[in-house]
Amino acid sequence: MTKSFDQKLSDYADLIVHIGLNVQPGQKVVVSGKNLFRGAPLHSAPLVRKIVESAYKAGARFVDVFWDDDQSQLVRFAHAPRDSFEEFPTWRTRALHEYAAGGASIVSIYGEDPDLFNGQDPALVTQAQRTMEKHMQPQMELLMKNAYSWLLVSVPHPNWAAKVFPELPADQQVDAMWEQIFKLCRIDREDPVAAWKEHIAQLQDAAKYLNEKQYDALHYTAPGTDFTVGLPAGHLWNSAQSDTMNGVTFTPNLPTEEIFTLGDKNRAEGTLKASMPLSYGGRLIEDFSMVFKDGRVVDVKAGKNEQALKDLLDVDDGAGRVGEIALVPHSSPIAQSGRLFYNTLYDENAASHIAVGRAYRFTLKGGESMSAEDFAAAGGNYSLVHVDFMIGSAEMDIDGITKDGAKEPLMRKGEWAYKG
Ligand code: ZN
Ligand code: ZN
């Protein structure tokens, strides 16, 4: 059965409403844009209308849509008074906050031009960004506490599609990007919502197994890789779903393929070879590997842009240490695409990966309420940066190492090998 584009768009909207937000009867729903206070991009209207329809069909009491137009932002940068970039539409954050505090669901549609601000005065761009971050704080606090269900999804922008599909003629790139999004979000399956329920159950199964195992370390082997990383006592493996404060289960990222925890910032040894390029600070670092000793990177090699990699690892002491460890089977749709998406939502789910830099507090038991010193003493890393790079492949084997030093198979040739 091949679905029409219209049917796939409807299925994407249903996935957002039922698996992503998990809209409850009587609830209010807001459709917004990237960074929350921004509205949904105008070109996402065909999807947004279907989300509105799907939400009402799921029993929503009221659905509100915030719109935005990135070209109007550019006009501001061209003509607005230079001293006006601390102006902010405060009504938008008040509106969002009112909805969120009242338990509404909020979906953020990300479809901006990745190069929108290229060529604009960097000082003004930074000022606008800081102003936004300042006004977003009360909203971010609600979001970090999961006071409401929220979700981030992508729609193609022509300039994004051009980066991902440079080999295609310009008039085919956006269509190819849509097809790719549908495939990666399992919209090509007959019943995508059922497919996601099954997928999420598998992720939870793996996370539960690893949480019970509480391995002392993981050992990775692949061509160019022989690497061991410690796992702090009390580490927690997380997967796709979160619960709101009033107990509604939602899925904040679509797609999502990873289960993840933190590594011990003082225990990483050996050589780790990346399996995909890393896009960092506008430069593409290719064919690279790192050597770790006593938890910190002591040597790097890169086929291209080695200096960019060194710059990243030198941001601060934590930038050269492990913050996150994530496992993704090689059979996941994103891994199978073999593409670089220049978009964290997709690239972070492409393969088993490691992040250097900051560890997430919630990946350690009690981590959210610990002092910075206690978190560090438990092995939790801190840095200004958190940068993920892909290491997984069809050739990667991973063993769990128990506290008494026994090795148990966790992944073989890129796929789960544990017996749960
Ligand atoms: Zn991750
Ligand atoms: Zn990460």
First and final CA of the chain: distance in angstroms? 34
Question: 390 C-alpha vs ligand 1 centroid, how far in Å?
Answer: 9
Residue 329 CA to ligand 1 center (angstroms) comes to 13
What are the φ and ψ backbone dihedral angles of 27, each rounded to 5 degrees? -80, 155
Tokens of 87: 């102006």
Ligand with minimal distance to 239 CA: 1
- Name all contacts of 169-173 with Cβ < 8 Å and 24+ positions apart: none
> Which residue has 């999502």 as its token pair?
256
Distance from residue 325's CA to the centre of ligand 1 (Å): 7
What pLDDT score was predicted for residue 88? 93
Centre of ligand 1 to C-alpha 318, Å, is 17
Say what the pLDDT of residue 143 is: 79
* Closest C-alpha to 89, from 38, 138, 32: 38
pLDDT one-digit tens code per residue, 215-244:
999 999 999 999 999 999 999 999 988 888
Task: Give the single-character DSSP code of 363.
Answer: G
- Nearest ligand to the CA of 381 is 2
Average pLDDT, stretch 43-67? 98
Predicted confidence (pLDDT) per residue in 346-381, tens digit: 888 889 999 999 998 889 999 888 999 999 999 999
- Residue 382: pLDDT above 70? yes
Lowest-pLDDT choice from 17-26, 36-45, 321-330: 36-45
> 329: which DSSP letter?
-
Whole-number CA gyration radius for the chain: 22
Q: What digits encode the pLDDT tens for the residues 72-87?
A: 989 999 999 999 999 9
Ligand 2 centroid, distance to 157 Cα (angstroms):
24
Q: Separation of 253 CA from ligand 1 center, angstroms?
A: 11
Cα 92 to ligand 2 centroid, rounded to whole Å = 29
138-151 per-position pLDDT tens digit: 888 787 778 899 99
139/98 Cα distance (integer angstroms): 10
Which ligand has the nearest atom to the CA of 261? 1
Answer yes or no: are the C-beta atoms of 113 and 162 closer than 8 Å. Answer: no
Residue 420 predicted with pLDDT over 70: no
pLDDT band at 38 (very low <50, low <70, confident <90, very high): confident
How many whole angstroms from 278 Cα to the centroid of ligand 1? 14
**Could you say which ligand is closest to the alpha carbon of residue 386?**
2
Percent of the chain scored above 90 by pLDDT? Answer: 76
Query: What is the 169 CA–ligand 2 centroid distance (Å)?
Result: 33
pLDDT, tens digit, for every residue of 64-73? 999 999 899 8
Q: Say how many Å lie between the CA of residue 168 and the centre of ligand 2.
A: 30
Distance 348 CA to ligand 2 centre (A): 7
Q: What is the model's pLDDT at position 36?
A: 65
Distance 387 CA to ligand 2 centre (A): 6
Distance 167 CA to ligand 2 centre (A): 29
Residue 343 CA, chain-centre distance (Å), reads 8
**Omega before residue 255 within 30° of 0, cis:** yes
pLDDT, position 70: 87
Say if residues 109 and 41 touch (Cβ distance below 8 Å): yes
pLDDT band at 389 (very low <50, low <70, confident <90, very high): very high
**Contact (Cβ atoms closer than 8 angstroms) between residue 300 and residue 290:** yes
Give the ligand at the shortest distance from the Cα of 355: 2
Task: Please tell me the distance between residue 39's alpha carbon and the centre of ligand 1 in angstroms.
Answer: 26
Cβ proximity of 395 and 352 under 8 Å: no
Q: What spacing in Å lies between the alpha carbon of 344 and ligand 1's midpoint?
A: 9
- The Å distance, Cα 21 to ligand 1 centre, comes to 20
Q: How far is the CA of 398 from the centre of ligand 2 (A)?
A: 19
Separation of CA 117 and ligand 1 centre (Å): 27
Ligand 2: centre distance to CA 383 (Å): 13
| CA–centroid distance, residue 171 to ligand 2 (Å) | 33
Q: Which three-class secondary structure state does DSSP give residue 352? A: coil
In 185-343, alpha helices (H): 192-213, 306-313, 333-337
Residue 171 has pLDDT above 90, yes or no: yes
Averaged pLDDT for residues 295-307: 96
Q: Is the pLDDT of residue 1 over 80?
A: no
